Structure formats: C-alpha cells, structure tokens
Structure 1
C-alpha cells in the first residue's frame, strides 16, 4: 500500500483531495500540517503529522519514517513564507529515499511569465516549477481552471474558502469583467480531486495535467445563474481600461472577507479573465479517465440552487 502525503490537507482543496484519496482504500494517507492536528471526522481517518517547514532535514526524516511515495501539495501560496515552505518541501522530497513524485500547489490556470504583470504572485509557482525541474522527482502541474464552487456558495458541498468571483448567485448580483465574453474553463473541486487521484495510477506524468468540467463565459454563466434562481440579477460591467487601472466594482455582499480583500481578489480575477488566463488549452486529460463524469456548469447551478428559485 503506497503512502500519499497531502501537505496542507486540513482544509481547502487539500482536504477535498484527502476525501477523494480515502475513497480509494488503496492508499495510506498522511496529512502534513504546520499546526496542531485537527479533530475532524475526515482527518481522523488519516495520520496528521505536524512538521516544521523551516527544517528540511526533519521533513526528510518524517518522509522516510512514513515511507511517503508521493507528495500532493495543497499549501495556500499567498505569502513569501508559504512559498518558501513549499520550496523546502520540494528539497526534502528530493533528499528522501522513499519519495518519488510531487504535485505542486497550483490548481488553477497555466502560470506563465507573461502573466506576471497581472499577478506578481505567479512568481511563487514558477519558482517551484523551476526547482522541480532540477530534481529527480516526477511532477505534474494540475490545471482545472476556475473552481465552480464559488458560484455555489454557501449552499454547495465544498471546503473552499468563500469569495465572490464576478457573480454572487446567492444575492443575485453580478459584477462582470470586460464585455463578459472571455472564455473560462471551470471545474468542480470534487471532480478535480477525483482526477488527481486517478493521476496516481499513471506511470508517467506530463508537465501539465489539464482537466476541465466545462468552458463558459461570464455572460453565459449569468444566464444560467438567472435561470437557476428564477430571477434577473443586478448587473454591472467593469471595462478593461478600468480593470487595468485597478478600478473595479467590489461585490456589495461580503462574507468573511474585508472590503479591501474583496477588492484585491476582484482586481486579480478580472485582470486574469480579460487576459484569457482561465481559457485552458483544449488538449486535456479528461478522456484518459472516462469513468469520471465531471459536472457541467448548468447542472451544477440547477442542482445547487433548485430550492431557491
């Protein structure tokens, strides 16, 4: 039985990946965390291991003690410190005699240098990818586009932190970037997790593992959301010039985030949307795993909001 370690597996997409791994029953699942172990019915089925990301040698010792074959990183890379934690984890995996594979924490679009002006934090992901290239580890960068979950909150089953990305389905409001016709690839987090587990069966990994549940524009998404809710939304459009200048419409209904955090997120998502970053290449790996039937956007919205129409 192979041991899979999920770094940052106590919440967010990491916990969703842990749930999917546990369903397989053929992996021993350990969760690497820098915090104290959590009391949780899902995590109770794993072994939670508290580690110090600043101590590479102790991480190596932990990986070898538990014979970790594959690391799936789901560390939230929002700061320089978090980015360094993942870099240290890569170095530890390279030194470990047991660890052969590594999935870095990305789970979005294909990060490239030309997108750095839109999102300087892309540097964190590029640095990790460059480091992985220099190791003997097999690795793959998983790209599902935008997670559908954001348009199902707070009703949908998810571990993802709540944000409004363009359309607030719960409050029937939309602030759409550009003309609303930029294509986005979208995937439900539980479908993404199912695909990641399937990747473990492959003998070889491509540099990028691209999956998507659907492709859609904000205008198309708005129509589906209005259909699901049975009413017209209040809609504003932010033009490309304003978005580039950082002048965006902040969602009026905020849950768990400050207005400034919501503004920063809206600017970031809007810039990446009009830059085409979320429109993934059509060469995808869905066909390799035909038993996974990813949910489409319309089905996702109708199922989530059927009692609210």
Structure 2
C-alpha cells in the first residue's frame, strides 16, 4: 500500500529538509499527511509549494516521546534522516525510532538513514558502520511479521552533486548547496583542483539533493517498496566529471591522483573520532570498488523524476 501519513525524522535540515520539501510538493495531489520530527520545536512548521508540515519536538532516546506523536498522527511511514558522529547515540536513536513505530498500529514502512552510498558496501568507512545495526533490526522485524505487513527500503543516491557548487560566485551562489553543508568533495571548482583515488576511473554516482527529495517523495507512492531503492542523477567516473568541470570553467584543473600508499600514509594511525579518516577511508573504498554500482538503478525507472545531470548542474552554477 502507498504511504499516506508520513513522519520525517531529522527533517528540519540537510537532506531531511529536501525530502520534506519533496513530500510537500506532492502533498495535495496525493492527500498526504506530513509531519517532521525534530529535537527542537518549530511553531511555524515547514512550508513549501503551498503546503505545510508541523515540526514536533521529540526525544530520540525516549520511545514514549516518539510513540505518542506517531500514534496521534496515525503514522504509517517513517523516514529517518538522522545523523551523528557519536556511534552509541546515533545507533540508539534509529533503534528507538523503529521500536516506537512498531508500537503504533498503523505503522508499516521504515526508511533508515542511508541517502548516500549503500552502507553495507563501504564497511571500511567507520562512520557508515554506525548504519549497519538498524539494517539487522529491520531484517529481523520483516522476518517476524506476516508477509506484506512491514516494508523497509534503503535509499541510496551516491554523492550529493551540490558539493560541486562550493565556492561559486553567483549572486545567490549559496543556493547551489541546498540545505547541505558547504564544502567540496574531492573536486574543488573554486580552486580548479581535484584530488581523487587511483587513476580517476573509479565509478561514482552523483545525485542533486533536491532530486533525492523528489525521488523519495515519489517512492512513497509506490504500492510496494523494494529493499533497495537506488537512484542517480548520473553514473560516471572522477575523470569524466573533471573533464566536464574543465569544459564548463574553460580551464585545466590541477589533479592529484592518489595511490593506495599515498592514502594510507595520510591516515591517522590512532583516530580519536569516527570522522578522523572519513575522506581517506572513502578513497580506499573507491579503490577497492566498494562504491561501484552493484545493482540496477531501479528508482529512476520506477518513478517519474527527471534528475539533473552533472553538466546541467555545473552550467547553472559556474561560468
């Protein structure tokens, strides 16, 4: 059954806000009820495309706090966009969110906080190890419940295309990032530089954050959720993206190609936090093929969303 009453956890910022806006864009067309769960209350809610979603404060470590809200709104679908760099708190928050949903009679769909590269493919990236426990819990719940009564889906979108907008000088250049943090990922167009793993022929999936919101919103109206819902604005390689950057900017980029030895030599031998070696861990994941496309990009075929390509994005934000 399609989703009708949807709660987005962590929907006030970053990719969560884009998903909320994607849902609000189709809210009236499909008569949806949308609520946003947040650690802090926002009385004005979130408004977009003529629709509004209330923002309700919950304690992500208190099941009763979440359960009361989900029950009040008779939520059938929970989309988690929670984030964090403290493993215990992040893992517990998603688990509590799921357990609260399972105590609500109307609940039947859950999307864990993926929205990047499939966390099971990049187990060498420590931050993504935090995403694995909820997947095991979801597998167990689905196995325990009667067929068709519970669905979960991992939404994977690769790298956010918006990071290619870092440092642009357009009058409203900040909008290139959407609601995401402002930093470049491996390719810095503002400095005309790139730093990539291996020979640059590693596969990479780029999807604009705004399009991720549209894809996920459209997926809520599918009758059946597949376990994997992969989307892409474009499947390419680092070298191909760099060539397009050079064409759009009209200048040759300074590109550093990192060997495995280069990467390992730069890694902290005693990381104090899960983010300490984050980018370098991803370099190794690309070298090992862990970021390659392992499955068909199914969501592009299942829903009617036309995502922006890398070239289209660059031409919008760069001279």
Q: TM-score, normalised by structure 2?
A: 0.84
| Alignment correspondent of 2:284 | 271
| Alignment correspondent of 1:75 | 82
Q: Displacement, 1:83?
A: 2.2
Q: Displacement, 1:105?
A: 0.5
Offset from partner CA, 1:23-56 (integer Å, 9 cap, x none): 1123221110112327676389211110011211
Structure 1, unmatched stretches of 5+, are 249-259
| Alignment correspondent of 1:287 | 301
SS at match of 2:90: helix
Contact 1:109 1:280 in 2 (8 A): no
Contact 1:153 1:162 in 2 (8 A): yes
Q: Displacement, 1:163?
A: 2.5
Residue 4 of structure 2 is aligned to residue 2 of structure 1: yes
What are the equivalent positions in structure 2 for 1:99-248 lying under 5 Å apart? 99-112=107-120, 115-116=122-123, 118-135=124-141, 136=145, 137-154=150-167, 155=173, 156-247=176-267
SS at match of 2:277: helix
Q: Displacement, 1:261?
A: 10
Q: Which moved more, 1:49-58 or 1:270-279?
A: 270-279
SS at match of 1:42: strand
Contact 1:173 1:235 in 2 (8 A): yes
Q: Displacement, 1:134?
A: 1.8
Contact 2:15 2:209 in 1 (8 A): yes
> How well do the aligned residues superpose, as a CA RMSD in angstroms?
2.4
The total of aligned residue pairs comes to 292
* Distance change in 2, residues 1:50/1:237 (3 Å): same
Q: Displacement, 1:157?
A: 4.9
Offset from partner CA, 1:248-295 (integer Å, 9 cap, x none): 9xxxxxxxxxxx999734313312222223222351221122x31111
| Alignment correspondent of 2:170 | none
Q: What CA distance in whole angstroms lies between the structure 1 residues aligned with 2:7 and 2:190?
A: 35
Q: What CA distance in whole angstroms lies between the structure 2 residues aligned with 1:169 and 1:273?
A: 21
Q: What CA distance in whole angstroms lies between the structure 2 residues aligned with 1:40 and 1:158?
A: 18
Q: What CA distance in whole angstroms lies between the structure 2 residues aligned with 1:235 and 1:157?
A: 23
Q: What CA distance in whole angstroms lies between the structure 1 residues aligned with 2:70 and 2:24?
A: 19
Contact 2:155 2:228 in 1 (8 A): yes
Q: What CA distance in whole angstroms lies between the structure 1 residues aligned with 2:62 and 2:46?
A: 30
Structure 2, unmatched stretches of 5+, are 168-172
